[in-house]
Structure 1
Amino acid sequence: MPTIQWYPGHIAKAERELKKQLKYVDVVLEVLDARIPLASQHPQVSQWIGNKPRLLVINRQDMIPEALHSQWVNYFQRQGIDVYLTDGQQGIGIKPLLKATQKAGEAVNEKRRSRGMRDRAVRAVVIGFPNVGKSALINRLVGRKAVQSGRKAGITRQLKWVRISQQIDLLDAPGVIPPKLEDQKAAIKLAICDDIGEAAYDLQNVAAALVDLLSELETTEIFDQRYNIPVEGLSGESYLATLASQRHNEDQERTARELLNDFRKGLMGKLPLEYPPDYL
């Protein structure tokens, strides 16, 4: 499979601006895609934020089985990271996240009071890969449509401060991605989940990779149920060709897009592409 790489100019610029703004930030909310919490973790975030309080937000909780929710929470908590599950589209998990954000920033005002200064709003930043649902989450946190959102990588291109309340100011940052994607298995998962620009990959290759990955995870019954073609004994490429022959007059590009859209929209069901390393 060809190498997946994507680092458009607006992301490089956004990363530079983000690093400048981080010194003014009290709390970091790092948003992950629940289907791929490991692949959607930016490898340099820890280095960027240093000792600042960090809340991990596993968004799109509705797209994975409920049994996995506590498994992921436990996995990250064992690493000493505070974790919150959310569904930005439906507004689930927002109140606990707001409270945690405010609490994480309390130390700032305690220090200000000790110096005889007035309290100020806690400054939080929302960061993560493109299209993991950051903007939709911010709109839920604010309680109105304060920033543009949509299921497409690269919608947010400018950093923007948004006031949530007298207690919290939020910095909406464009999706950031490493200049080079060293882990190509993770890069493929990002492409499958639409968490990277479409210019970075070939649709047919990624759709075939989705079939192969679900086969590895032994969650292939959906292919028989949804498309009436069992996947057993077929590679991803062969399955794509077979499906294209039966449904779309050999048009593999159209078939690939259909497969990926069905997965991305949850029409295949709650299908995670990753499990915690210690999953039982």
Structure 2
Amino acid sequence: MTIQWYPGHMAKARREVATAIRWVDVVLELVDARIPSASRNPVLGELIGDKPRLVVMTRVDLADPDVSRRWIGFFARQGGRAVAVDARSGRGLRGIGGAVRELAAPSVGRWKKRGVRNRGVRVLIVGIPNVGKSSLINRLAGRSAAKTGDLPGVTRAQQWIRTSEGFELLDTPGILWPKFEDPETGLLLAATGAIKEEILPLEEVALFLLKRLQLTYPRALAGRYGDLAGEPEDWLEQVGKGRGLLMAGGRVNVAAAAELVCREFRTGRLGRISLEAPPDEASAEGVDNG
């Protein structure tokens, strides 16, 4: 299965980012803490280049805390910087301001040498759809400054937001890339809600989730849906039957069971779960916290 979603506004946003990157001091690259690798857009990486960047792992409240700590260590070993935040509660936001000022110091110094002293630190915020950019901006700005929503593709136009710390934030629409080299990347993005459900084979995404969780968080999975037995292709039937998702004649509504699995994963009903471990460790199958 190949999952692709690259509407026209994303191509336009890519061009806008390429232009804006020249005028900012620091880039905040937002990734989903549950899939920090799959949610990094390689196209954005190319556009950012050598510009100082801070990787911001969002939705950390939904991710396995131990795995998130390991990811921060991974980024540090790669020579980068990363922080984990929960934009809804504000946890972790304090680490952003200090890191941004430190990363921006060389650029600010160059501006001061040119006689520009009242210019705020300019920060570009980039990431894939539905990674929490607008929610983070609202937290940093201390007000409802950016349009927010739970669906990918809410932010369509660039807008500058000034914060109380003197930062000037530039929000950009979420951007995916035209082709996923690894089919699993599409499944991971679909599982976390970065791709609109209207174009998804949701049953396949749900089955992918069940298989992954059976390997990595079997106790959490069993605690929610009971022991899934037999072939994986039968698991959605078992979930639907256990939850009473039945149609006329007693048949299981497999589509409803698939929607249930995806929704309960995305909202944390299955617990705090990470679908990827750092690549310098074991594969995702080594996440296992039960």
TM-score range with shorter-chain normalisation?
over 0.9
3-state DSSP of counterpart to 2:42: coil
Aligned to 2:288: none
Q: Which letter does structure 2 place at the counterpart of 1:251?
A: N
Q: Check whether the contact 1:159–1:171 (CA below 8 A) recurs between aligned residues.
A: yes
> For each residue in 1:145-173, what CA deviation from the matched residue of structure 2 results, as whole angstroms up to 9, or x when unmatched?
10111221111111111111362100011
Q: How many residues align?
A: 276
Aligned to 1:81: 80
Q: Match for 1:238 among 234, 237, 247?
A: 234
CA RMSD between the two structures: 1.6
Aligned to 2:139: 140
Aligned to 2:249: none
Moved more, 58-67 or 21-30: 58-67
Moved more, 158-167 or 20-29: 158-167
> For each residue in 1:200-225, what CA deviation from the matched residue of structure 2 results, as whole angstroms up to 9, or x when unmatched?
311111111111111232x1223322
Q: Which letter does structure 1 place at the counterpart of 2:273?
A: L
3-state DSSP of counterpart to 2:209: helix
Q: Distance in 2 between matches of 1:190 and 1:277?
A: 17
Give 1:232 deviation, angstroms.
Answer: 4.0
> For each residue in 1:114-168, what CA deviation from the matched residue of structure 2 results, as whole angstroms up to 9, or x when unmatched?
2333241111011111011111111111111101112211111111111113621
Q: Distance in 2 between matches of 1:116 and 1:14?
A: 32
Aligned to 2:245: 248
Identity of aligned residues (%): 38
Aligned to 1:262: 264
Question: Does the C-alpha gap of structure 1 residues 166 and 268 become closer, same or farther in structure 2, counting only changes over 3 Å?
Answer: closer
Q: Does 1:224 align with 2:226?
A: no
5+ residue gaps, structure 1: none
1:96-111 correspondence runs (5 A): 96-111=95-110
Q: Distance in 2 between matches of 1:216 and 1:136?
A: 32
Give 1:64 deviation, angstroms.
Answer: 2.0
1:1-280 correspondence runs (5 A): 2-165=1-164, 167-217=166-216, 219-227=217-225, 229-235=226-232, 237-246=233-242, 247-249=244-246, 250-279=252-281
> For each residue in 1:14-58, what CA deviation from the matched residue of structure 2 results, as whole angstroms up to 9, or x when unmatched?
112221211111110001101100100111223212221010011
3-state DSSP of counterpart to 1:44: helix
Give TM-score, length-normalised by structure 2. Answer: 0.90
Q: Check whether the contact 2:13–2:172 (CA below 8 A) recurs between aligned residues.
A: yes
